[in-house]
Structure 1
Amino acid sequence: MSHSYRRVAPHRRPADTHRLTEKQYQIMSTIVDGTHDAAGNPCALDMEQLLDRLPYRTTRESMQFSLRKLEGRGLITRDYEKRRGRCRALVYPTKLGLTALTNQFSPRPSTAVAEIKLELDLG
């Protein structure tokens, strides 16, 4: 029996373009907060700085995966610069990324909250 597989383009729902998970929201907030130095001048975070400033602990690999997802959605962009003697990837929020946070797109509610809302609607 032979199976044929075809590549399917990733499905992107327009209504969910700005929806962020709780961790994506924390990452975006950290990137936006970290884009100014002590003097108030715009400055981007590199991976080490981002990992140090996050409110939770994660691995470098996990963060790279999350950043690829955010970059694929157009919420961040990356550039490279020599810092501390090495070429480092810098993370910048895009206009869309800033809009997602300034319009107060909140993280998805937990399933428990969704179930309570459903019960209230049905009850």
Structure 2
Amino acid sequence: FIFSPDMRVGERFILHLDSLCDDYGNCTVDSIEFVYAQRLFGEIRVKCPSDTYERLIFAKNVENKRIYRLNRGIDGSFSGVVIKGRYILIRFRDEDGNGRVTAGKYRPFVLGEFTEVFDDTISVRAGWTTEVSW
């Protein structure tokens, strides 16, 4: 399978593995069951008002402290597939376009990027989509 060069970062696609076989001739339809995603992962979808700033949203797992970046969709909402658990949502304006939170400087004085934390913990269940309006 060769990816199309016009695909964008974060774009979703479906890849059918019906004819995938290993070195011994065992094909996926005969021997391998792919159901891990439904047992382990859920989806977070965040609806945000549109504005002129480039926003980034991250989901931080409360238990293992792992941070996931949510992808921005065409409609302006953010979504991402994450491991089931509880999450804290963090969003900020990426004013310098580097993809990270910039703290600012004292000389020459530059303000840090505006950062917000969602006021509640989000619970993500495996196989479900959790929608949040923020």
TM over 0.5: no
More helix by share: 1
TM-score (norm 1): 0.24
Give the number of the structure whose residues are more often strand, by fraction. 2
TM-score normalised to the size of structure 2?
Answer: 0.23
